[in-house]
Structure 1
Amino acid sequence: MSHRSRILGGTSIDSDRPCRAASRCCPDPFTTPSTGAPMRFAMPLKNRLLNSALLGALTAGLGACGSSDPAGDSNSPPLGAEKLSVVVLVIDSLMPSDIGLQTPTLSGLIAEGTFFPESRSVFAAETIPNHVAMMTGVYPERSGITGNSFIDFDDPAGPTDKDLSLPEKLTAKTLFTFINEQCRGSGINPDIRHGATLSKKYLHEVFAGDDADPERQNDDPAVFNVAPDSHWDPTTSPAYIGPLFEYTPDRPTMEQALTQLPDADFFFVNLGSVDRNAHAFGAAGRGLQLLETDSLVQQMVDALKASGRWDRTVMLVVSDHGMDFTLPGPLQSVTVQPTLDALGACYAPMQAVQGGGTDSIYVTDRSLPEDQKREALHAARSCLMGLADCDTLCAGASRPTNAADIVYAWYTKDDPTDPTGNMPDSIRSQHPNFGDLVLVASDGLKFSDPTPLSNPIPGNHGQIATIHNFMLVTGGSPWVKKGVTVTPSVPSPDLLDRLPEQSETIDVAPTVAWLLGLGLKASDFPDGRTYDGRVLSQAFVQFDSASNPGSPTVCGRYDAQ
């Protein structure tokens, strides 16, 4: 079966993801009531803060419309006396196979929650796009965040290879923004608070909000993201490790998180040491780190219990991707830049941006006609995949060492003249920020560009195997179903499959939105389409008695039963 037809199950409104039937009962605040036509806002872009406040005011009274889509009902109840706490705790690169003797806390949380052993990251299986997927609930084709690195053609200094952590490139609204609009801007619950403790520098940057750099406006004029209320900068920690690592280790990160936790109703945390140790020291370093990180998770649980909040807490423990291990140095790597340079003499200049298990190929002259760019990409794909003799395509060009272990080469824009190179529909990562052609390495192989020494590290991700991530819904809330393991409907599913019962990183945002009763509708999204992800319904008792229950809270508030 072609991967282009492997999306299984039913289809939701504005989404190819399987999910429940939606209840669209709230009036659309962005249409004219008499005609249903979209309202137009003649407002200068420089007044985006005012624009954001106006959109929030227009949703007044709608924030409590609850639904598992989450789309919601009207006639919202008043705010309850209890405050729900929702924590999304990311253990970077954690895999289901890591759970064992070294993780007693996580093992206990699995017993007290609902575990999804066949969970999936978005592609590319890298840190930034999957943290963005968690906070936006949409695939990279809509968020614009496709990998950890890209070529910034908008840089005033000229095209530059850099981290894809620029807030203006994030063209989907985050949970922080939706909480502001639906709860605070609407006046429904102005006291709800959010926070983030993210160990990695580039994660702090991508969620810094659109006022982080007034000179660089969001690529989508309809988006103005806000930063978390408390947004810790890991570079300010005395324990911060700079070049090559650019993160603060888990112990000081958790110490910081515990200082922010009391003031956050919704809290987003990243612990990066399991990932960073794997990158630096391979599987051995990773194993030693797991025990410490597991003990730090226990510290957060203990803090919530000591404050009396655990019984009102839903915690999602999730990872952004898995990990693949190779030998250090160039022996198990492939370097494609010399081949691209040789082909460029006959076609167009191209540049590779490495992503560990992936490589993004860009035609660097963006002014070239589409036909000329396409011809260069066809030549690169044919040469690198062994579909044609490289020297015949362009005298002097040769196929790189280990190129036989490049398993896929996908265009980021469908090419009707070469459909075998089109990206599978289940991946949903077609975007210019991903380059023009994306290469994927086999398990145990990595890319190293522009030279064989550019990627010496033994731990990498991005390969298809590393799409398999960790997902657990747990917590002390009585709403969380205990001791449940969600088994896949297909034994040993392909990693490119998207089964209706499995979880993905894009499911975090709609689950949190449902829990907090944000009452989101398609018109609240900048492109008029609701979440790509779904509420993780198997984890909550409300779905035992109703297929599409309303949200259990109104902007995070509820009355105990």
Structure 2
Amino acid sequence: MSTRLRLLLLPLALLLLAPAAASAQSFAENPLVYVFVVDGLDGDRVDQGRAPYISRLLAGAEGARSTYYRESRSIMVAETNPNHAAMASGAYADRSGIPGNSFAIQQATEDEDSCAPAPGGGGGVTVVSGENANCLQAETFFQAAERQRNPADITTAGIFGKPKLGRIFAARKPDNSLFADFLTAPCESQESSNPSYCTERIEDFPATGTALNDREVMDEVIRTIDQGVPADGRTKLPNLTFVNFSQVDQAGHATGAGSAYDAAIGMADTEIERFVETQ
């Protein structure tokens, strides 16, 4: 593990900055930023020691310097879609365009996920999931990085355990390429209509559908570190990576906050440890 790893932990998000090279100067110039979202994690469980490795980092072990804001809260509604939109954009639900995992739109839409108007228009109220990039009204950091950057400065990646997060953050530029330099999420079927960024390594969770398990998600994170990602016509190391771990949320939906939920927290904690130990 690098002794110069820096960490910020929130109840729902883990932000790590690791040096891209050995010198202090290179760290200042080229930080590697990883935002790990342990979906559905109750911060009280961290305080109770159910995530022992994260707790050790918070205590300053492993050479870590950390900040833990215990009073942080999810935005309301406390669901996956609006909170990931808020973290990626800095916008509350009234401005992000995604106020919940489902919401009503005062028009007919092209399908149950989209916020785009149906061909030919139409009135009435439509309930949608908002699981489409056209629902986002606030600029995400994927888009902001593309707009503001010198291409050599920032390489972005989104690695999501849930298929719907891939759809939400699959916004495209005028040339039809993704704003995120690299994006992956599980496919939901074996159909040819699956998006090009999805992966077929999936697990079925009865409560919420298909997802990558947390180990598979971390495998992909580590692969991008070892092999880089295609960006700007060459292979580059991502230095702004947004990651979703889904298993804690899956366990909570399936069984409530019991032993299976705590076991899932332990598995996510193990994956964070594996990540840190690769640095």
TM-score by length of 2: 0.69
Amino acid paired to 2:242: F
Aligned to 1:238: 201
Q: Provide the rounded CA distance (Å) in 2 between the counterparts of 1:177 and 1:148.
A: 22
TM superposition shift of 1:232: 0.6
Q: Provide the rounded CA distance (Å) in 1 between the counterparts of 2:242 and 2:221.
A: 9
Q: Provide the rounded CA distance (Å) in 2 between the counterparts of 1:101 and 1:115.
A: 14
Q: Provide the rounded CA distance (Å) in 1 between the counterparts of 2:42 and 2:205.
A: 26
Is 1:272–2:246 an aligned residue pair? yes
Counting only pairs closer than 5 Å after superposition, residues 93-104 of structure 1 correspond to structure 2 as 93-99=40-46, 100-104=48-52
Q: Provide the rounded CA distance (Å) in 1 between the counterparts of 2:275 and 2:266.
A: 15
Runs of 4+ in 1 over 4 A off after TM superposition: 157-160
Aligned to 2:277: 302
CA spacing shift, 1:266–1:160, aligned 2, 3 Å: same
Q: Name the larger-Rg structure.
A: 1
Counting only pairs closer than 5 Å after superposition, residues 19-98 of structure 1 correspond to structure 2 as 81=26, 82-98=29-45
Aligned to 1:132: 85
Bigger share in strand: 2
Counting only pairs closer than 5 Å after superposition, residues 302-381 of structure 1 correspond to structure 2 as 302-304=277-279
CA spacing shift, 1:209–1:242, aligned 2, 3 Å: farther
Check whether the contact 1:177–1:226 (CA below 8 A) recurs between aligned residues.
no
Check whether the contact 1:132–1:145 (CA below 8 A) recurs between aligned residues.
yes
SS at match of 2:138: coil
TM superposition shift of 1:209: 0.4
- Any stretches of 5+ residues in structure 2 without a counterpart? 1-24, 61-65, 111-117, 188-198, 229-236
Question: Size of the alignment, in residue pairs?
Answer: 211
Check whether the contact 1:196–1:231 (CA below 8 A) recurs between aligned residues.
yes
Q: Provide the rounded CA distance (Å) in 2 between the counterparts of 1:123 and 1:138.
A: 12
Q: Provide the rounded CA distance (Å) in 2 between the counterparts of 1:295 and 1:97.
A: 18
- Any stretches of 5+ residues in structure 1 without a counterpart? 1-79, 215-224, 305-561
TM superposition shift of 1:233: 2.4
TM superposition shift of 1:134: 0.6
Q: Provide the rounded CA distance (Å) in 2 between the counterparts of 1:179 and 1:197.
A: 17
Q: Provide the rounded CA distance (Å) in 1 between the counterparts of 2:184 and 2:165.
A: 11
CA spacing shift, 1:242–1:228, aligned 2, 3 Å: farther
Q: Provide the rounded CA distance (Å) in 2 between the counterparts of 1:257 and 1:240.
A: 18
CA RMSD of aligned residues (A): 2.5
TM superposition shift of 1:190: 2.7
Q: Provide the rounded CA distance (Å) in 2 between the counterparts of 1:248 and 1:161.
A: 27
CA spacing shift, 1:199–1:227, aligned 2, 3 Å: farther
Is 1:228–2:180 an aligned residue pair? yes
Counting only pairs closer than 5 Å after superposition, residues 89-488 of structure 1 correspond to structure 2 as 89-99=36-46, 100-112=48-60, 113-151=66-104, 153-155=108-110, 156=118, 160-184=126-150, 189-210=151-172, 226-235=178-187, 236-241=199-204, 244-261=208-225, 262=228, 263-284=237-258, 285-304=260-279
Aligned to 2:192: none
CA spacing shift, 1:288–1:242, aligned 2, 3 Å: closer
SS at match of 2:261: helix
Check whether the contact 2:186–2:201 (CA below 8 A) recurs between aligned residues.
no
Check whether the contact 2:224–2:238 (CA below 8 A) recurs between aligned residues.
yes
Q: Which moved more, 1:240-249 or 1:143-152?
A: 240-249
CA spacing shift, 1:103–1:175, aligned 2, 3 Å: same
Q: Provide the rounded CA distance (Å) in 2 between the counterparts of 1:177 and 1:107.
A: 33
Amino acid paired to 1:164: G
Amino acid paired to 1:247: A
Check whether the contact 2:186–2:200 (CA below 8 A) recurs between aligned residues.
yes
TM-score by length of 1: 0.35
Q: Provide the rounded CA distance (Å) in 1 between the counterparts of 2:246 and 2:205.
A: 14
Q: Provide the rounded CA distance (Å) in 2 between the counterparts of 1:169 and 1:101.
A: 38
CA spacing shift, 1:260–1:177, aligned 2, 3 Å: same
Q: Provide the rounded CA distance (Å) in 1 between the counterparts of 2:130 and 2:59.
A: 37
Amino acid paired to 2:92: Y
